[in-house]
Amino acid sequence: MGKLIPRSWMSGLLLLTMAGCLARGQGPTRNDLLDPSLSKLFDGKVHKGAEQGTSEAYLQPIFPSSHAANLLQLRNGDLVCVWFSGSWEGESDVAIVFSRLNKNSAQWSMPIIVDHRLGESFQNPVVFEEPNHTLDIFHTTQVAKAGEAQAHVLRSQSHDGGTTWSTPEMLFEKDGAFTRHPLVVLNKKKWLMPMTYVTSKGIGAGSETNYSVMKLSSDEGKTWKECDVPQSFGKVQPSVVRSSEGEFVSFFRSRASDWIYRSTSKDGCHWSSPTKTVLPNNNASVQAFRLRNGHIVIAFNNSQERMEEGKKVGAFRKPVTVALSEDDGLTWKYARDVERGRPGFGLAERNVKVPGREEYSYPTILQAANGRIYVAYTFRRQTVKVVSFDENWLRQGATEGIYTAAIK
């Protein structure tokens, strides 16, 4: 890997560079996207949530827009969160950023910049702690405004817990390579990385040809073998967890904006064809996690595309719902909303680059060592919101979404 770069110095340089670009009209200004009425909430402080039994925090944005978070609890007990942030998705000033909640702390740190390169746009970071405590961040890179079919995957490493990061190096150079969800450790040396190949410029026309693979490494990430997921066209961004039998279950986003799909494997390489579940999907990311008691939780937007008066109507990116399965994702007995958004705001505000954007999406979910479940997600593209609760809280609630669960 390349030499280590002090990210505090790089962060300051990038902020100045971005400020110059914005001043020259090369992107939306901070005030175009950040809602001043909400800025006082974006302080990174953990406090009691709106519902009893929950806590929440709004992470501190350093750039106008934020998206695609991933959480990880380190072995020392710290929680870390990574996401991409810049003027807007696909622009050349979009960076990978990293924030930390120290064990027993109630304050998320100000994000530091892990990676940035003018002329390229970064997306979908995944943070991973190797068995030897090295931290990795895998993320996509693509030529700015050129579309995701040109994406590749980069890797940066930290040997000091995330204070400094190596210069990123190419990991997967095949066009369209796209990360999104955490790796699974099969044993000390064998890792599984779920991935998608994007064959279209974006998530609309042509995206039904996108497909999923699993990358397997038997030498701690030095080399990788690619395993296709059969019949996965249009089934993307697989989120993989172990099953109760020690095998593997994966859940997929659907480009058709219909359902979450499910696939299984005995060895992590040979997968069944994805089949639809009862959970809806809106062509946005979902993420699953296996709790210590063997149950599986999944965070998703409880919505899908629908027909009204003979016409297709796009799907909302809300509510953010967490569902609980006691049988490896075959059935989902409980579902509760973590975020419902603002009543009366919806599709009309979905595609605009203004503070009114109504989007709560791309959730990431895990169970911490203290038993609490943490969900982080994009909050109106302005920042990342983190909510925590326990499994009992999840069992006692309800949802306003399409899927209302088998047990009330």
Task: Indicate the average pLDDT of the chain.
Answer: 90
* Domain tally, the chain: 1
Count of residues in the chain: 408
| SS3 of 121-149 | EEEEEEEEECCCCCEEEEEEEEECCCCHH
CA dihedral 116, 350, 261, 152 (to 10 degrees): -20
Q: Are 303 and 315 in contact (CB under 8 A)?
A: yes
Tell me the pLDDT band of 34, cut-offs 50, 70 and 90. Answer: low
- Asked if pLDDT for residue 13 goes beyond 70, the answer is no
Strand partners, 81: 71, 99
- More confident of the two residues 407 and 272: 272
- Asked if pLDDT for residue 231 goes beyond 80, the answer is yes
Exposure pattern of 235-247 as b/e (b: 16+ CB <10 Å)? bbbbbbbbbeeee
Question: For position 202, what pLDDT does the model report?
Answer: 78
Cα–Cα dist 147/153, whole Å: 14
Tell me the pLDDT band of 9, cut-offs 50, 70 and 90. Answer: very low
Inside any domain, residue 236: no
Question: For position 355, what pLDDT does the model report?
Answer: 66
Inside any domain, residue 104: no
- Asked if pLDDT for residue 4 goes beyond 70, the answer is no
Residue 396 domain boundaries:
34-63+286-408
Number of helical H runs and strand E runs in the chain: 3, 30
Inside any domain, residue 74: no
Please tell me whether residue 347 adopts helix, strand or coil conformation: helix
Does the pTM surpass 0.75? The reply is yes
Mean pLDDT confidence for 98-109? 97
Inside any domain, residue 251: no
- More confident of the two residues 17 and 370: 370
Cα–Cα dist 385/92, whole Å: 24
Contact partners, residue 342, CB within 8 Å, separation at least 6: 358
Question: For position 349, what pLDDT does the model report?
Answer: 84
Inside any domain, residue 121: no
Inside any domain, residue 363: yes
- Asked if pLDDT for residue 221 goes beyond 80, the answer is yes
Mean pLDDT confidence for 132-148? 94
